[in-house]
Structure 1
Amino acid sequence: MSLFNQFIKSSSSPKHIALFRFQGIGKTISYLFFLSFIMSIPAFWAAAAYVIAGTDATRKAIEELMPLLSIAQGQSQNEVILVAAGLFFYYVLISFTLFFKATVFGGLALIAVSLLKKRAEYRHLFRMAAYSLTLPALLTTLIQLTGLTFSFAYLIDWLLIAFILILSIRFLPGAPK
Structure 2
Amino acid sequence: MNIFKQFYKSIYSPRDIALFRFQGIGKTILYVFFLTFISILPSIIYFSTALIEGIDAAKTIIKDEAPSFSIKNGHLTAKTDVPVTIDKDNFTIIIDPTGAISGDDVADEGNAFALLKDEFALSSGGNVETYPYSMMNDIHITNSDLLNFVDSIGGMKGIIIPVVSLFIYIFSSAASFIEISVLAFIGLALKGNRKLNYRQLWRMAAYSETLPTLFFTIMTAIQTVVPNSFLINWFVVIIVLYLAIKEVPKPKNSN
- Decide: shared fold, TM above 0.5: yes
Match of 1:85 in 2: 163
Alpha carbons of structure 1 residues 71 and 89: separation in structure 2 relative to 1, 3 Å: same
Q: TM-score, normalised by structure 2?
A: 0.62
Matching residue's letter, 1:99: F
Alpha carbons of structure 1 residues 43 and 176: separation in structure 2 relative to 1, 3 Å: same
Match of 2:25 in 1: 25
Distance 1:101 1:155 in 2: 13
Distance 1:56 1:75 in 2: 13
Match of 1:39 in 2: 39
Match of 2:212 in 1: 136
Q: Match for 2:222 among 125, 146, 167?
A: 146
Map of 1:1-177 to 2, 5 A cutoff? 1-53=1-53, 54-57=55-58, 61=113, 71=149, 76-114=154-192, 117-175=193-251, 177=253
CA shift digits 1:63-103 (9 cap, x unpaired)? 97777996486862223322221111111111111111110
**Structure with larger Rg:** 2
Report the identity percentage. 34
Segment of structure 1 superposing worse, 147-156 or 65-74: 65-74
Is the contact made by 2:3 and 2:31 (CA closer than 8 Å) also made in structure 1?
yes
Alpha carbons of structure 1 residues 161 and 75: separation in structure 2 relative to 1, 3 Å: closer
Q: Which has the higher strand share?
A: 2
Is the contact made by 2:58 and 2:150 (CA closer than 8 Å) also made in structure 1?
no
Matching residue's letter, 1:6: Q
Q: Which has the higher helix share?
A: 1
Higher relative contact order (CA 8 A, sep 6+): 1
Q: TM-score, normalised by structure 1?
A: 0.87
Aligned length: 175
